[in-house]
């Protein structure tokens, strides 16, 4: 029977116990408010919004021709031009429901990676800012 060399097992364990390699990307986020309907993903269905109102519209880079509909992202505020705009290191999870370029209401900034619902944006910011730098990871 093959026995692992004595150092292999501890080495493997160390490797497995390390934090998962992060697939996080860096981008920007703005926010938008109502009217949220209809959306590019699910039209006028009022039942499409998650109960916690944490959702977002996908910017050009992640819209993926609509394939992003229903994808979920972990989003964390990294920084902003306004000092202390990020609310601690809080991470939220948002579902993509719309396309940033096709929103019914103006985003606070054009051309961002993601446009967060007002609830989502407020949850990770603590100052009145229009745009923040984010770290995001698809779930």
Ligand X SMILES: *[C@@H]1O[C@H](CO)[C@@H](O)[C@H](O)[C@H]1NC(C)=O
Chain residues that interact with ligand X, rule: CB under 6 A: 106, 109-110
Residue (59 or 76) nearer to ligand X, CB: 59
Structure-derived torsion over alpha carbons of residues 41, 116, 93, 134, reported in degrees to the nearest 10 = 130
CB of 28 to ligand X, least distance (A): 13
The length of the chain in residues reads: 139
Residue (25 or 130) nearer to ligand X, CB: 130
Q: Return the DSSP state at 105.
A: S
CB of 109 to ligand X, least distance (A): 5
Residue (110 or 138) nearer to ligand X, CB: 110
By beta-carbon distance, which residue lies closest to ligand X? 110
Cα–chain center distance at 24: 10
Which residues of the chain form beta strands (DSSP E)? Answer: 25-32, 55-58, 72-79, 91-99, 114-117, 132-138
Residue (69 or 115) nearer to ligand X, CB: 115
CB of 47 to ligand X, least distance (A): 29
């Amino acid at each position: 029977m093959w026995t692992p060399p004595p150092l292999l097992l501890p080495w493997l364990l160390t490797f497995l116990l390390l934090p998962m390699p992060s697939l996080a990307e860096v981008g920007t986020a703005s926010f938008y408010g109502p009217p949220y309907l209809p959306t590019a993903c699910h039209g006028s269905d009022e039942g499409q919004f998650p109960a916690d109102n944490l959702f977002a519209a996908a910017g050009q880079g992640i819209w993926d021709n609509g394939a992003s509909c229903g994808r979920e992202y972990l989003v964390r505020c990294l920084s902003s031009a306004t000092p202390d705009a990020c609310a601690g290191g809080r991470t939220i999870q948002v579902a993509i429901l719309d396309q940033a370029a096709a929103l019914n209401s103006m985003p606070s900034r054009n051309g961002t990676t993601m446009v967060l619902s007002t609830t989502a944006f407020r949850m990770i910011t603590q100052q009145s800012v229009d745009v923040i730098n984010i770290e995001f990871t698809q779930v």
